[in-house]
Each structure stands twice: as C-alpha cells, then as structure tokens.
Amino acid sequence: MFLVLSADQLSKFWILYGLNLPEKGSVYVLPFLNFSMVWNHAVTFGLLGGVAGPFVFSAVALAVVCGLLVWMFKTSSRLIAVCVGAIIGGAIGNVIDRLRYGAVVDFLHAHAFGHSWYVFNIADSAIVCAVGVLLLHNMRAGNKPQAT
C-alpha cells in the first residue's frame, strides 16, 4: 500500500515540478511511450466527467478503501493482501490528486503500431495489475473453498 502510494505521488511530483510536463505537454521517452500531461477530471477512461466533483469521487473512493482495508486485514493470503494493498495505495494516490488539484494527474501514454492507449499513472497501473492478479488467482482457485 505505502510503496504504491509513495511511487505514485513521487512520480507525479517529478512530472509536475521536476519535468514541468504541464508546460511541455508531451515528452518522447521511447518509441512506444510518451509522457503526456492529462488532467483527468472524471473516473477511469474519462467516464462520468462532469457528473460529480472531486469531493464526491473522493468520498466514494475512500468508502471503498475502508472496505478494502477490512478485506486486506482479514485475509490469510499474502498474495491477496498485497494485491488489495496495491489497490488501496493507488486509490489513495488518486484521491490525493483530486483533493489537491481537482483532477487526477495522468502522464503515461503508451502507443504502438498506430494504436494509442489511454493516458494513465502509477496508481492506475497498480490498480489494474492488482485486479488482474486477483482475477487470475480466483479463476485458478476455481470452486475450491478458500479462507478469507
């Protein structure tokens, strides 16, 4: 949780104040990656933009974080605890942005072979990867009963 939160906030601080990406707009990094400044005022993939302000999104995210904290501390599985902790760290990182800037700082822009993915950040990456691992773990476990 703290590793993801720290990496997310440090990367955003560097993007905003070290690299000064808001002024530059976009910086070439690799043939498949740019740093591109995007202020995300909505939810994932720009959904629900304009429907609710940063305080509503933050309140919902923090309510979800409370539920995830219960899950994290109740599970006997280290893998599940790490994944849930990564989701919590990512969610808190994006809440900090919403409360501090009124929007989430997104800057990682992956692209290849004429395709472009949405612009995201470390928090988003941690959330997506952790959810993916949880899904794979659950599919692998099948219908076997598991301890919570």
Q: Which residues are catalytic?
A: 106, 124
Concatenating the DSSP letter of every residue in 126-148 gives: HHHHHHHHHHHHHHHHTT-----
Burial class (CB in 10 A: 0-12, 13-18, 19+), 120: buried
Give the closest residue to 101 by CA, choosing from 39, 13, 15.
39
Task: Determine the length of the chain.
Answer: 148
* Distance set, CA 30 to CA 10, 76, 138 (Å): 21, 41, 35
Task: Report the alpha-carbon distance of residue 126 to residue 130 in Å, rounded.
Answer: 6
Report how far residue 41's alpha carbon sits from residue 75's, in angstroms, rounded to the nearest whole number: 34
